[in-house]
Amino acid sequence: MKKKNVLKSVLILAVAAGTASFTSTMEKKINIEESTIEWKGKKVLGSHTGTINLQDGHLEMEGDQLTGGQFTVDMTSITVTDLKGEDKAKLEGHLKSDDFFGVDNYATSKLVINSATKNGNTYAVNGDITIKGKTESITFDLVMGESAATTNFKIDRTKFGVRYGSGSFFDNLGDNTISNDFTLDVTLKF
């Protein structure tokens, strides 16, 4: 009788170990050279657009299911694409200053995917985003393809202490009011 119980326990452990090896998490490394992040910020009388670079990133997969991931954004790479010359340099400098993202003290931002629920080729993603040392929860949809994933989502900059020109914190800004939200349009190549 004891031999049967021992044999049964060994078989259960063998099956469990075999199952675990089939569901191990694999990292799908992001090609940062081919991936893009485009941003758009709005103000009362218009908007500005630009890009920012990934420093590194990966998706965590169990088989063909997204389960997590982590991305680091190089905040020093903020560029403006809708202006040229002195105006471009001035806005880029202002975005990098302490009024906005304070890149001298906060050279990177981070996104961590905590969970993802699949519906077709789209995932409802839950994660944490850290900007200027402050972390907030975030949810967004991520569309997965064979060689790329795409998403578009808004971030409320004021949750991260970026309050410059916000009508929520300053009165009498008039036409100089800047929207609290900025949009990121992201393409991740792998």
Closest by CA position to 153, among listed 186, 117, 115, 184: 184
Q: What is the CATH number of domain 24-189?
A: 2.40.128.110
Residue 113 CA from chain centroid, whole number:
8
Closest by CA position to 159, among listed 183, 185, 138, 186: 138
What is the distance between the alpha carbons of residues 41 and 154, in angstroms, rounded to a whole number? 10
83 backbone dihedrals φ, ψ, rounded to 5°: -125, 165
Which SS3 state, helix, strand or coil, does residue 32 take?
A: coil
Q: Write out pLDDT tens, residues 135-170.
A: 999 999 999 999 999 999 999 999 999 987 775 666
Six-digit token pair at 162? Answer: 């970026």
Q: Quick one: residue 120, left, alpha or beta (phi over 0 = left, psi -120 to 50 = alpha)?
A: left
Domain residue extents for the chain: 24-189
What is the distance between the alpha carbons of residues 81 and 35, in angstroms, rounded to a whole number? 17
Q: Quick one: residue 177, left, alpha or beta (phi over 0 = left, psi -120 to 50 = alpha)?
A: beta
Alpha-carbon Rg of the chain, whole angstroms? Answer: 22
The answer to whether the beta carbons of residues 44 and 174 sit under 8 Å apart is yes
Residue by residue, pLDDT tens for the chain (190 residues) are 555 555 455 445 545 544 444 558 899 999 999 999 999 999 888 999 999 999 999 999 999 899 999 999 999 999 999 999 999 999 999 999 999 999 999 999 999 999 999 999 999 999 999 999 999 999 999 999 999 999 999 999 999 999 877 756 666 666 667 889 999 999 999 9
What is the distance between the alpha carbons of residues 6 and 161, in angstroms, rounded to a whole number? 60
